[in-house]
Structure 1
Amino acid sequence: MTITEPQRTPHEVGTKIVLEASGVTMRFGGLTAVDDVSMQVHEGEIVGLIGPNGAGKTTFFNCLTGMYIPTEGTVTLNGTKLPPKPLKVVRAGMARTFQNIRLFGNMTALENVMVGRYCRTSSMALTSILRGPKFKREEAATRERAQELLDYVGLSKSTELLARNMPYGDQRRLEIARALATDPQIILLDEPTAGMNPKETEETMHLIFKIRDSGMAVVVIEHDMRFIFNLCDRVLCLVRGSLLVEGTPGEVQSDHRVIEAYIGGDEDKEEIA
C-alpha cells in the first residue's frame, strides 16, 4: 500500500490570540526545566513544539494546562489568566492528550468519550443519584455527543469496544475524541503519533487538519520531524528548557542551530544538507 503524505492545505490563520504564555518558567529545586518561554497561538493555527529529549516540552504543556504551577510567568486564554487548576483550565476551553495514553481501559470507547463530556453537564450529586429527569436528559445528550465525536475521529464502529482491546492507533484517536468532548477552543496534543505506523500517522495528520478547519487552535509536541513540518503553520524549538528558535516550518527546518541541537554541532560545518 502506498502512503501519500498529506500537504498543509492553504488556510488563513485568525488574528485573534487564543492562548498566550508569557515568560513561563518552571523550576524544580535547583533544576530549571522551562526557562522564560513565551508563546502565542492564534485561532485556527497549528503550532508545533519540538526539541531533543529533556528539552522541557511536556513540562511546558503541564504549565499551560494547570498541572504545574509555574514558578514565574502567566498563561492566558482569550485574554483571561488561567488558574493553575486542570478542571478550571478545561472548563475555560483548553483540552489536552498525553504522551502516555491515559484511557479507562475497562470502559468502552463511548464511555471514555462521555467522561470527557461531563465537565459540561450541570446535574448535581443528588439528581445524579436519583436519576431524575434533568440527569436523564443530560445523559442522553452526552451519549449522543460522544457518538458524534467517535464518528468524527473515524471510530464509529468501535462504540462498544473496551478501550484496552482497541488497536494502538485507535486508542490515540479515542483520546483525541475524549479531549474534543470538553468543547475546547484549543487542543494540546502530546506526541499524538508516537508508536504509530505510516498509515496511522497519515490518518492522524488528516484528523488534525480537520480539527483545525473547524476553527480550533492546535498545539502539537512531536518527534517526527517530517510530520511536524508538514503539519504546522509555525514551529517552536526548545533546547534545555529555553526557546531556541521560532518560525515557519521552512525557517526552523533550515536553521543550523536546530540541526545542531538534534545531532550535535560541528565547528567545521556551517550547514548540514
Structure 2
Amino acid sequence: MTVEQAAPAPGRHAAAGLLSARGVTMRFGGLVAVNNVDYDVYEGEIVGLIGPNGAGKTTFFNCLTGMYKPTSGTVSFRGRPLRPRPQAVTKAGVARTFQNIRLFANMTALENVMVGRYCRTTTGPISAILHGPKYRREERETRERALELLRFVGLERSADHLARNLPYGDQRRLEIARALATDPGLLLLDEPTAGMNPQETRGAMELIFRIREQGLAVVVIEHDMRFIFNLCDRVTCLVRGEKLCEGTPESVQSNPRVIEAYIGTGPEAAEGA
C-alpha cells in the first residue's frame, strides 16, 4: 500500500519530536493487525488517528502504550526507547484512556484520580505502613493535585461521588483526569466521545484544546469525523493495519482513497462522493 503524506505544517520539522514509532508490526498468529507503521507525534500538537472498524487503531495504540509488545519495530519517547510495559510507558510520560471506560467503580472520583498520581510518589512500604512524615506529605500533595485536576475537567463538585454513579460523560472526563494525574507529556485518547451527545462532544473538544494549552501533545482515535477534522492539526488514516495517508484535516477528508475506505466505492465514485 502506497502511503500518501501531505507536506508538514510550517515549522513542523523545527518542532521537537516527542514520540516516534518505526516499522511497528503486530501479528496474532497468521493475522497481521498492524503492518510496518511509521508514526510521529510532535510537541504541542493534536493528532487524529482514523480508519474503518478493524483498521488496527486500538491495536496500534496498545503497541505504543506497552499493552502489547510489537512483533517487530520500535517505539521511542523523547529520544529514548519505550519498554513494552504499561508501567514503564506511564513513568516515561505517556498516558492513555480506553475505548471502554476503566474506572474503579466503587471508589470516589477523587480516589480514582489519586490512584493515577501514585506512579509519581516515592514513599516506601515501611513509611506507608507507619504513616511517616514523607507518606503524609505525599498523600497531602496527591490529594491537592487530584482536586486541581477535577476542577480542570469540571468535576470538582463530584469529588466525593462514586465513579459508578456519575453520568456517562462525566465518567469519560474522570478517566481523562486520572490520566493527567500521571503528569504525561503525551496523552492518547481512545474514542473519547463514544456514546456522548452533541453537547458533551463539544465539551470534550474544548477540554482537549485546554489540555494542549497546558503543553501536552494529544493523539485521538475517533469515529466522529466532524469532531476529528475540527479538532486536529494532523490526521493519519489506517486501513487494514497499514497507513493509508497522513496530512492536514483538509487533505485527508478530501482524499478519494480515504472516502473509498469508508464507503466502499471505487476511486471514480469516491471522487464524486
Identify the TM-score tier after normalising by the shorter chain. Answer: over 0.9
Matches of 1:221 and 1:153, distance apart in 2:
20
Q: 1:268 to 1:43 in 2, by over 3 A?
A: closer
- Equivalent in the alignment of 1:122: 122
- Equivalent in the alignment of 2:232: 232
Residues 73-92 of structure 1: CA distance to partner in whole angstroms, max 9, x if unpaired?
10000000000111010000
Q: Which SS does the other structure have where 1:157 is aligned?
A: helix
Please say which of residues 53-62 and 257-266 is displaced more in the overlay. 257-266
Q: Is the 8 A contact 1:36 1:242 kept in 2?
A: yes
Residues 218-238 of structure 1: CA distance to partner in whole angstroms, max 9, x if unpaired?
000000000000000000000
The letter of the residue matching 2:235 is V
Matches of 2:218 and 2:125, distance apart in 1:
34
Deviation at 1:269, TM superposition (A): 2.2
Q: 1:12 to 1:231 in 2, by over 3 A?
A: farther
2:250 corresponds to 1:250: yes
Q: 1:225 to 1:267 in 2, by over 3 A?
A: closer
Return 5+ residue gaps in structure 2 as ranges: 1-9
Deviation at 1:12, TM superposition (A): 7.8
Q: Which SS does the other structure have where 2:156 is aligned?
A: coil
Q: Which SS does the other structure have where 1:210 is aligned?
A: helix
Please say which of residues 172-181 and 208-217 is displaced more in the overlay. 208-217
Q: Percent identity?
A: 70
The letter of the residue matching 2:63 is C
Matches of 1:113 and 1:119, distance apart in 2:
11
Deviation at 1:272, TM superposition (A): 3.1
Matches of 2:144 and 2:164, distance apart in 1:
22
- Equivalent in the alignment of 2:28: 28
TM-score, normalisation: structure 1: 0.94
Matches of 1:224 and 1:186, distance apart in 2:
22
The letter of the residue matching 1:234 is R
Matches of 1:221 and 1:16, distance apart in 2:
23
Deviation at 1:267, TM superposition (A): 5.5
Q: Equivalent residues in 2 for 1:213-228 (5 A)? A: 213-228=213-228
- Equivalent in the alignment of 2:101: 101
Matches of 1:268 and 1:246, distance apart in 2:
21
Structure 1 segments of 4 or more deviating over 3 A?
A: 11-14
Cα root mean square deviation, aligned = 1.3
Return 5+ residue gaps in structure 1 as ranges: 1-10
Q: 1:126 to 1:272 in 2, by over 3 A?
A: farther
2:41 corresponds to 1:41: yes
Q: Is the 8 A contact 1:66 1:83 kept in 2?
A: yes
Deviation at 1:215, TM superposition (A): 1.4
The letter of the residue matching 1:113 is V
TM-score, normalisation: structure 2: 0.94
Residues 62-108 of structure 1: CA distance to partner in whole angstroms, max 9, x if unpaired?
00001100011100000000001110100000000000000000000
